[in-house]
């Protein structure tokens, strides 16, 4: 990369970003873009909204990087921004519609989750249908539950990391995850589509 930004550590990139260096910001964007989109997709269950959210996340990172304290974890700071942006989008959705549906997912989004080594088309169809049902159920959870379920069960983050990122005690995270899983189980049992 021009200017050597490709060889800088994360802390060096952040210091350069704080000074307004666009190359450094572009490198930070390249490093984190797919991670941000994937986390947003897990929270929003909509690919287009996830891309919109990622753009907003990086706008906020660019505007607020000066307030980032370098002794803290950049990942933690970034996840808080992602969680806030996704919560804003979910609140707007709820204002516009009482029911959030992902039934209009494009074929591309359905295919995205299929494993490459699936032995039969029937098994792929069954897996896709189960994923659709689970995503639909997750989309019906309260925002605070949807965020922790995504972070824990989809992104495989630890309770400590989630607590740090959301700025809540670890016990609160455990409680929310437990409630979220119970609520999810209840939704799935009521639908009886997985059984």
Question: What distance in Å separates the CA atoms of residue 165 and residue 107, rounded to the nearest whole number?
Answer: 33
Q: Is 24 exposed, middle or buried (0-12, 13-18, 19+ CB in 10 A)?
A: buried
Q: What is the pLDDT of residues 30-88, one digit of tens each?
A: 999 988 998 888 888 888 999 999 999 999 999 999 888 877 788 888 888 998 898 88
Report the predicted TM-score, pTM, of the whole model to 2 decimal places: 0.59
Question: What distance in Å separates the CA atoms of residue 110 and residue 187, rounded to the nearest whole number?
Answer: 21
What is each CA distance from 50 to 118, 129, 134, 158, in whole angstroms? 27, 21, 18, 23
Residue-level length of the chain: 195
Q: What is the pLDDT of residues 123-167, one digit of tens each?
A: 656 667 777 777 778 878 887 888 888 888 877 888 988 887 777
Q: 15-22: list long-range contacts, CB under 8 Å, 24+ apart.
A: 15/70, 17/62, 17/65, 18/65, 18/66, 18/68
Closest CA to 43 of 52, 59, 97: 52
């Amino acid at each position: 990369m021009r200017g050597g930004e490709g060889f800088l550590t994360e802390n060096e990139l952040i210091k350069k970003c704080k000074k307004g260096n666009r190359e450094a910001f572009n490198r930070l964007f390249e490093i984190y873009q797919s991670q941000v989109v994937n986390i947003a997709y897990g929270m929003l269950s909509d690919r287009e909204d996830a891309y919109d959210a990622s753009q907003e996340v990086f706008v906020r990172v660019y505007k607020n990087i000066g307030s980032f304290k370098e002794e803290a974890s950049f990942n933690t700071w970034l996840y808080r921004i992602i969680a806030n942006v996704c919560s804003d989008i979910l609140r707007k959705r709820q204002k516009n519609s009482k029911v959030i549906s992902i039934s209009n997912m494009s074929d591309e989004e359905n295919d995205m989750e299929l494993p490459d080594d699936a032995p039969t088309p029937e098994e792929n169809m069954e897996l896709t249908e189960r994923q659709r049902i689970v995503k639909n159920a997750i989309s019906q959870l309260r925002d605070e539950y949807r965020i922790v379920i995504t972070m824990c069960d989809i992104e495989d983050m630890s309770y400590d990391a989630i607590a740090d990122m959301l700025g809540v005690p670890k016990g609160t995270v455990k409680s929310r995850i437990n409630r979220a899983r119970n609520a999810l189980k209840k939704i799935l049992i009521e639908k009886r589509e997985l059984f």
